[in-house]
Amino acid sequence: MGAGHAHPLHLDHDSRVHRLPAEVKIVATLLFTIVVVITPREKFVAFAGYLLLLVGVLVVAKVPPGWLAKRATIELPFVLLAIALPFAGHGERVHWLGMSLSVDGLHGAWNIFAKGTLGVLASLLLAATTTARDLLLGLDRLRCPQVFTQIATFMLRYLDILADDARRMRVARLSRGYDPRFLWQVKAFAVGVGALFIRSYERGERVYLAMVARGYSGRLPRPEGTGATTADWVRSATLPIAAGVIALVAVLA
Amino acid sequence: MNGVAMHIANGIVNAQVSAIFAAIAAAALAICVWRGRADLDDRLAPMAGLVAAFIFAVQMLNFQVLPGVSGHLLGGTLAVVLVGPWVGALCVSTVLIIQCLLFADGGLTALGLNITNMAVVGTAAGYLLVAGLLRVLPKTPRGVAITAFVASVVSVVVASQAFVLEYALGGTTELNLTTIAGTMAAAHVLIGIGEGLIAAVTVATVARVRPDLVYALRRFRKTASPSPKPAVPAPAVGGAA
């Protein structure tokens, strides 16, 4: 956990998608997701088209499909909700394998499943190809208010501090022969949480004051690069534009 | 971070309602940026980051409510007590934005909904209660802890009902709304109690060890700041990077 720039979903290698500036990737992901969400749910072909587009990005970004599929399980709670809908929905019902299913619920389930999955896959591809630092830089270049980037910068730094301190305190507790894991031992956990907060704050405060002493004024220096070029914008625009064309064709057909 | 944490995903609430709530969230956050900038001094900047990180970690704790509906801690009240309402709302929304972009948690188009529920409604409810209760309760670590607990329970339930409202306006599937409202409320009372305990313990510890860091206690301490560590140096002027 040495370098604070990676995050658990980042896939550390080089590809054409990795090299794109973060701001164009954020905008492309956002536009793509919007197109997916506004597509009427009964246009099944369009969703297949979107999936193919994402497969294309996956190939260019050299992201292993298994790696992506494993992380897409974050969506599981909503898939379970989707499975419950055909049973709980109202209106016209169909009978299939002896089960009475609501048509509206089936459509709703498909809607959540398709749009949710495509959205998660798009976000995962963004996360896999962008480091936390680049993402903040991208948000900064997109004129995101400085308060946000400042809080986010500290947050990502503190996450590592919190995790490390929590691990140290756990080891210290275990090595003293105490391992609270039942409800009536919750006090140990509670006291630990408070102590963790103060410890992390005081470590982080020292780091912050050291940063201020070295000239930090709310914004990290931007060392290299001048941001996205027109070519970068054009290259990343292919994804949302292709999705838009698919949506138009599907709606008009 | 293998926890299955999930905010509202894409496609749960339809596009029009998502857009309306995105606009509401943007307007509310603009006010918070405007008011929060004055608050964000040398002491609050690292605190805001830590509170955001803490909320991030705490939101990873997920409770299965029903198959498919899980609730998690929100952290809005903790933020209100430690960094104030404006910066607090910004902290929670920063968490939500980063979770959405880097951890694929919560749909990009549902970001407005998630921010409205957790950062705006949850934090506002928490703030009103904290401000009200602290007028009555003693300004001691114990008083702040009780305040944080009560405000957490209420704000979590209120935020969960905001989701019910959004679903009523633009849910993509017709479901019985009273069932959803009841289930969400019941589940979030339990979650609120869990959240309240975490918030109360954290706030009580901070109030005992570093009372100077508790925003909610600031205005009751206008004279002679009793902070044990007042040594926050003035920002370096014109330091070379």
pLDDT digits (tens, 9 = 90+) for A46-84: 888 888 888 888 888 788 888 778 777 766 666 666 676
Please, is A246 exposed, middle or buried when counting C-beta atoms within 10 Å of its C-beta (0-12, 13-18, 19+)? buried
Please, is A175 exposed, middle or buried when counting C-beta atoms within 10 Å of its C-beta (0-12, 13-18, 19+)? exposed
Tell me, yes or no, if B20 comes closer than 8 A to chain A by beta carbon. Answer: no
Please, is A174 exposed, middle or buried when counting C-beta atoms within 10 Å of its C-beta (0-12, 13-18, 19+)? exposed
Residues of B in contact with A116 (CB under 8 A): 9-12, 107
pLDDT digits (tens, 9 = 90+) for B170-213: 766 666 777 778 877 887 788 788 788 888 888 888 888 888 87
Whether the per-residue pLDDT at B121 is higher than 50: the answer is yes
Tell me, yes or no, if B100 comes closer than 8 A to chain A by beta carbon. Answer: yes
Domains of chain B, start order: 15-219 (1.10.1760.20)
Return the minimum-mean-pLDDT range out of A18-32, A99-113, A150-164.
A99-113
Residues of B in contact with A85 (CB under 8 A): 173, 175
> Could you give the percent of chain B with pLDDT greater than 70?
77
Q: How confident is the prediction for chain A on average, in pLDDT? A: 77
B239 with A191: Cβ contact below 8 A: no
Q: What is the pLDDT, as a whole number, of residue B69?
A: 54
Chain A residue at shortest CA distance from B90: A148
One-letter identity of residue B68: G
Whether the per-residue pLDDT at B234 is higher than 50: the answer is no
Q: What is the pLDDT, as a whole number, of residue B18?
A: 82
The pLDDT-based confidence of B227 (bands split at 50, 70, 90) is: very low
Residues of B in contact with A124 (CB under 8 A): 104
- A14 CB neighbour count, 10 Å cutoff: 8
The pLDDT-based confidence of B76 (bands split at 50, 70, 90) is: confident
Q: Where are the alpha helices (DSSP H) in chain B?
A: 15-39, 44-59, 76-83, 85-103, 111-114, 122-136, 141-170, 177-209
Q: What is the pLDDT, as a whole number, of residue B230?
A: 44
Whether the per-residue pLDDT at B37 is higher than 50: the answer is yes
Residues of B in contact with A126 (CB under 8 A): 101
Tell me, yes or no, if A248 comes closer than 8 A to chain B by beta carbon. Answer: no
- Given a contact cutoff of 8 angstroms between Cβ atoms, the answer to whether A246 and A50 are in contact is yes
Q: What is the pLDDT, as a whole number, of residue A225?
A: 61
Reading the block at residue B210, the tokens are 């570093």
Q: What is the pLDDT, as a whole number, of residue A91?
A: 60
Q: What is the pLDDT, as a whole number, of residue B65?
A: 53
pLDDT digits (tens, 9 = 90+) for A122-138: 888 888 888 877 888 88
Range from A169-173, A188-192, B57-61 that averages highest in pLDDT? A169-173
Rounded-to-10 torsion of CA A121, A124, A129, A133:
150
pLDDT digits (tens, 9 = 90+) for B141-156: 888 888 888 888 888 8
**Greater model confidence, B10 or B115:** B115
Q: What is the pLDDT, as a whole number, of residue A96?
A: 67
Chain B residue at shortest CA distance from A26: B101
Half-sphere exposure of A87 (CA within 13 A, CB side): 8
The pLDDT-based confidence of B229 (bands split at 50, 70, 90) is: very low
Chain B residue at shortest CA distance from A109: B173
Q: Which of A124, A105, A141 has its CA nearest to residue B107?
A: A124
CB-nearest to A151 from B54, B91, B236 is B91
The pLDDT-based confidence of A196 (bands split at 50, 70, 90) is: confident
| d(CA A78, nearest CA chain B) in Å | 6
Mutual angle of helices B15-39 and A146-175, in 10-degree steps: 80
Q: What is the pLDDT, as a whole number, of residue B237?
A: 43
Range from A139-153, B41-55, B81-95, B157-171 that averages highest in pLDDT? B81-95
Interface of A with B in 177-236 (CB under 8 A): 186, 190-191, 193-195, 197-198, 200-201, 204-205, 207-209, 212-218, 221
Chain B residue at shortest CA distance from A11: B102
The dihedral through the CA atoms of B187, B58, B144, B119 has a sign that is negative
Give mean pLDDT, residues A92-96. Answer: 65
The pLDDT-based confidence of A215 (bands split at 50, 70, 90) is: confident
